[in-house]
Amino acid sequence: MPRIAYVNGRYVDHRDAAVHVEDRGYQFADGVYEVVHLFRNRLIDADPHLDRLGHSLVELQMAWPMHRSALKVAMHEIVRRNRFATGLLYIQVTRGVAPRDHKFPADVCSSLVMTLRSVPEFPDDMREQGVGVITLEDIRWARRDIKSVALLPNVLGKQAAAEANVYEAWLVDGAGLITEGTSSNAWIISGDGVLITRAADHDILRGITRQAIVELAQELGIPFEERSFSVEEACNACEAFMSNSSHFVTPVTRIDDRVIANGKPGSLSTALHSRYVQYMSDFSKIG
Ligand code: PDD
């Protein structure tokens, strides 16, 4: 079965999927993206992802590449053509192809690329053992609410984490407060059982998984506080975890060289993960 990608109106073999060298995404990182989980044949939270894509496009004065409803049809079509049940759908919109010039080109059409990659279901060892993170200075720009493809600081952070043999880097602002991970939101649970994550303003990406977790926590009766926390507070927390569309709720058991609580995934993180998996299973299957 060949892998199928979508490039500007055409479904093509993934090996042949290519864009023009003067695509502004390639030359200026002038583009935005979304990653949507395909879980057992269900596209999870497709609408909130499209809402956030709309936010990113508006903030960058970029046009939708097609009507939102048509994009949704194309998302389902690429799933249908790839014929696997669990994977990650990558959607990228750039300002389009134009001779290299920093200012916006006139009369340009946005480019749309979509790929789907098969991934295994959430690995048991991540849930059972948790992961480690390092902390790094957050050197990103001031509009992290826009899901821009300009990810160089995130790439450098993730590489530093890999070199330190841990899974993620948590980024720290000038006041010593954790913003988020390089590709995930950061959470802690305090000694008195309060779930805490940073407010979603311009400093972090408003995670779609984050939003679902807030609602599921409410349903489970877990008290929730939206506020910033320091590295020190995180190291002394009862539990810590990260969230994103690719790995849901992932327990964090070590920050730099400090072990969180007893070094094992906590009960609330585990409960939230299970509830999130149930939440995904409740989406209707793609026909
Ligand atoms: N990243 N913060 C950052 C910086 C992210 O890149 C992501 C997601 C998140 C979590 O958002 P969500 O819950 O909507 O996935 C938070 C994706 C998965 C990526 O870049 O691959």
pLDDT for the residue 251: 97
Q: By the 8 A CB rule, do 215 and 221 touch? A: no
Indicate if the pLDDT at residue 287 is higher than 70. Answer: no
Q: How high is the pLDDT of residue 18?
A: 97
pLDDT digits (tens, 9 = 90+) for 255-277: 999 999 999 999 999 999 999 99
- Looking at residue 166, its pLDDT comes to 98
Residue among 37, 183, 216 to mutate when testing ligand 1 (max atoms within 8 A of CB)? 183
Based on the residue annotation, tell me whether 158 is a catalytic residue of this protein.
no
| Distance between CA atoms of residues 54 and 71, nearest Å | 12
pLDDT at 125 over 90: no
SS3 sequence of 120-135: CCCCHHHHHHCEEEEE
6-29 pLDDT, tens digit each: 999 999 999 999 999 999 999 999
Ligand 1 neighbour 207 (Cβ under 6 A): yes
Average pLDDT over residues 196-205: 98
Q: Is the dihedral of CA 65, 66, 67, 70 positive or negative?
A: negative
Share above pLDDT 70 across residues of the chain, in percent, rounded to a whole number: 100
Picking from 233, 228, 224, the residue whose alpha carbon sits closest to that of residue 272 is 224
Average pLDDT over residues 125-147: 95
Single out the catalytic residue among 147, 158, 264, 285: 147
Ligand 1 in reach of 94 Cβ (< 6 A): no
Residue range 72-83: mean pLDDT, rounded: 97
Distance 245 CA to ligand 1 centre (A): 7
Residue pLDDT, tens place only, 15-68: 999 999 999 999 999 999 999 999 999 999 999 999 999 999 999 999 999 999
Average pLDDT over residues 107-126: 92
pLDDT beyond 70 at 233: yes
* Per-residue confidence (pLDDT) for residue 110, from 0 to 100: 98
Residue 263's region, left for phi above 0, alpha for psi from -120 to 50, else beta, is left
